[in-house]
Amino acid sequence: MQKESLVRHRILPVMAIVLIIVLAWYAGAYFMNAPFQRDLDRRANVTSTPVEFLQKTMAQPKPVVPAPHQVMQNLFENTVMRSLTSNRSLVYHGWVTLSSTMVGFAAGTLLGMLIAIGIVHVKTLDRSLMPWIIASQMVPILAVAPMVIVVLGAINITGLIPKAFISTYLSFFPVAVGMVKGLRSPELIQLDLMRTYNATAAQTFWKLRLPASIPYLFTSMKVAIAASLVGAIVGELPTGAVAGLGSKLLAGSYYSQTIDMWAALIAGSILAALLVALVGIIERIVEKSRGGRPA
């Protein structure tokens, strides 16, 4: 019964959407690659049946839009078929990106929490800090990232740290905003209650505000971890980094290896989905230990 409803309510809808996307993707691949294929055929004086033509648009080495099966094949070859240390392995590049994502995410979460605690407890910070935090996210990260890399590079900080710095820059924001909301989420009577006990600000924080903010923290961490991954990839783009999903994207665009690019892109999305799911799993475990009401 339960298994059946899982199939019907979770898997079927997802599969339906996937099917629609794949079909649209194939159609897109055909229409985007057809003009070039027609050009090729004309120059080589080949006439092909519609089916042959369709197959050819799906088998170009450097297509405008690679077909899903080309991307999947590339993805498969560059993950499962390669040794993990190979420069062509997407697992290797994914790991490089992942490691700076995680460092940046951890630092961003910590920074976001500290900022939120400051904003909630210090009135001056509440008024002065928030506009700057919001302004910080208005700056296009694509413009900031190269400057960060160059400036840090000038003082001999290269590799993981500059990329993690960009991840931190992107991920502290959702955590700070979410935590401010979470730390302020206790109702007035819950705060009054603490006052009747003559509780100190520290006791109110540890026993009321912080536990009340946990659901908000997890929601914002899901956004933050995806933003961290974007930050790490963006950090790899402008530097001519030799490793990481970002460098694969960049190399792909240099050499018009569109299939490589798409594969790296898909690898990045899979990584993001896994990271968000991981935060979700931790959230469920934590909520359960806090007596969370089963949904």
Query: What does the binding site for another protein look like in residue numbers (CB under 8 A)?
Result: 187, 189-190, 192-199, 203, 207-208, 211-212, 214, 290-291, 293
Q: Which of 235, 258, 221, 261 is nearest to 90 (CA)?
A: 261
Choose between 39 and 187: whose C-beta lies nearer to another protein. Answer: 187
Q: 194 or 261, CB closer to another protein?
A: 194
Instruction: State the minimum distance, in angstroms, from the CB of residue 293 to another protein.
Output: 5
CA dihedral (125, 130, 131, 133) in degrees, to 10, reads 120
Q: Report in angstroms how near the CB of residue 269 gets to another protein at its nearest.
A: 34
Least distance (Å) from another protein to the CB of residue 218?
Answer: 13
Minimum CB distance to another protein smaller for 138 or for 189: 189
Helix (H, G, I), strand (E, B) or coil at 19: helix
Give me the least distance between CB of 116 and another protein, in Å please: 19
| Residue that is written with structure tokens 């956004």 in the block | 223
- Token code pair at residue 176: 């700070």
Residue (260 or 283) nearer to another protein, CB: 283
Provide the minimum distance between the beta carbon of 277 and another protein in the complex, in angstroms, as a whole number: 24
Q: By C-beta, is 88 or 207 nearer to another protein?
A: 207
d(CA 38, CA 26): 17
Q: Which tokens is 213 given?
A: 């903010």
- Cβ contact 267:94 at 8 Å: yes
Calculate the CA 57 to chain-centre distance: 31
